[in-house]
Amino acid sequence: MAKPAAPDTRALAAHALAEIALRGASSREVLARLTPQLPDARDRGLLHALVQAGARSWLRYDIALDRMLDKPLRRKEPTIHALLALGLVQLDVLELPAYAAVAATVQAARSLGRPRMAGLVNAVLRRWQREGDALRAQLDADDVSRWAQPAWLIDAVRRDWPRDAERVLAAANREAPLTLRVNRRHGTRDAYLDRLRESEIAAHAHPELDDAVVLANSTDVTRLPGFADGDVAVQDGAAQLTADLLDLADGQRVLDACAAPGGKTCHALERHRLDMLAVELDAGRVPRIRENLQRLGLDAHVLQADAAQPDAWWDGTPFDRILIDAPCSASGVLRRRPDVRLHRRATDIAALNAIQRQLLDALWPLLAPGGRLLYVTCSLLRAENETIVAPFLAAHADAEALPIALPMGQAAGPGWQILPGDADLDGLYYAALGKRRA
């Protein structure tokens, strides 16, 4: 039996945040599991806002609590520790009305079955209200607590992007816009903007992108006009550049090597009639590709397989276009995936590099002469981008870097880097490799 009344939203958020920040759980998985316990859409919205902001700023407020508490609660009372961090997030980041935020957070301690902690929660939050300016200044004096990012990542950003480091670090802590991709097969972007206007949903066309609509406010996307009928999908603008950079034409044979959840596959198919093979290694994510294809009314061959082992699945017919959206650190999309900074370690990069190289090496022979391979990551680390692509080009006489020039971002080695926040986009890297005709 489930508890008869809906659970306390803040208590549930504290559970979620403790699992994500202290026990390594993925925020996507935790939110998918806990959200159904809240029947009310507004409570669900608050849960998501709390957990996302809580994870995003964990490295700041976790340190703040160490300074405010004589004995840290992290080990003995992890849920209360997370609840305290959420209290600070409500006051400092979400800027909720202080009296309500404090009272509701104290109440959450009670509904977590920790009534004796209620006084402590109240005292910590009141102290933050009184001494917040001084405490914030202390936190801002240290890099990790200033940016709420791990030291290795801050160092890497400064090393790789010395001129842009501050704005890149800041962009990771801003709320990402909700961006839609209009399905061209169902209608024009202008027509869809009209429908949004009729529904009184504020939105504008992205000035640099052909299919993108940026919503002024976050919303339940399933309630957008035509969502269930596949008239639109959710996709960041930076990812929508893939369809342009693939340089597609009707009739091409195309491979999307790391396809889940299928956004880039679908966008390509909305633009052109293609013979598309979407490969995904993770069996758990394959259904998402099929669902997205079905909702958008598109058709592709979907295959659960390791793209780096084409012997097991390739029929021997070359591809005109290959998209490698390679597994990576996700360091360019911290604003959308707030748990990445908590779970990713500097030591993960070498293993990711090995996969990135394997994918390039294994799939290059599948590309037809005159064809194009697009290497994409959502990373801003040079180690995952030009450091992978440049040696590949040097080692393959039949490979050449094709020029990319986008209205945002900058050239980076043989490819192009969009840094997080450029034109308010996610941070993605693109390199286009052409295969010379023999």
CA distance 14 to 137: 26
User: Judged by CB under 8 A, does residue 39 bind other proteins?
Assistant: yes
260 is in an annotated binding site: yes
User: Judged by CB under 8 A, does residue 276 bind other proteins?
Assistant: no
- 26: which 2 tokens? 């993925």
Catalytic option among 308, 378, 399, 418:
378
- Total binding residues toward other proteins, as defined by CB under 8 A: 25
User: Judged by CB under 8 A, does residue 10 bind other proteins?
Assistant: no
The mark string for 90-129 relative to other proteins (x by CB under 8 A, - otherwise) is --------------------xx-xxx--------------
Query: Do the beta carbons of residue 426 and residue 333 sit within 8 Å?
Result: yes
* DSSP characters over 227-277: TTTTSEEE--HHHHHHHHHTT--TT-EEEESS-TT-HHHHHHHHHS--EEE
Residue 110 vs 136, nearer CB to other proteins: 110
CA distance 264 to 192: 20
User: Judged by CB under 8 A, does residue 229 bind other proteins?
Assistant: no
- Segment interacting with other proteins (CB under 8 A) among 26-34, 69-77, 146-154, 174-182: 26-34
- Give the residue, chosen from 75, 99, 222, 437, that forms a contact with other proteins under the rule CB under 8 A: 222
262 is in an annotated binding site: yes
User: Judged by CB under 8 A, does residue 42 bind other proteins?
Assistant: no
Segments of 260-406 assigned E as strands: 275-280, 301-304, 319-325, 367-377, 399-402
264 is in an annotated binding site: yes
Say how many C-beta atoms besides its own lie within 10 A of residue 31's C-beta. 18
CA distance 15 to 76: 14
Smallest separation (angstroms) from other proteins to the CB of 97: 27
- Determine if the peptide bond prior to 261 is cis (ω within 30°): yes
- Segment interacting with other proteins (CB under 8 A) among 4-12, 54-62, 175-183, 395-403: 4-12
Q: Active-site residue 328, yes or no? A: no
Say how many C-beta atoms besides its own lie within 10 A of residue 366's C-beta. 19
Annotated binding site: which residue ranges? 258-264, 280, 306, 325
Residues that bind other proteins (CB under 8 A): 1-7, 12, 15, 32-39, 110-111, 113-115, 220, 222, 291
Catalytically annotated residues: 378
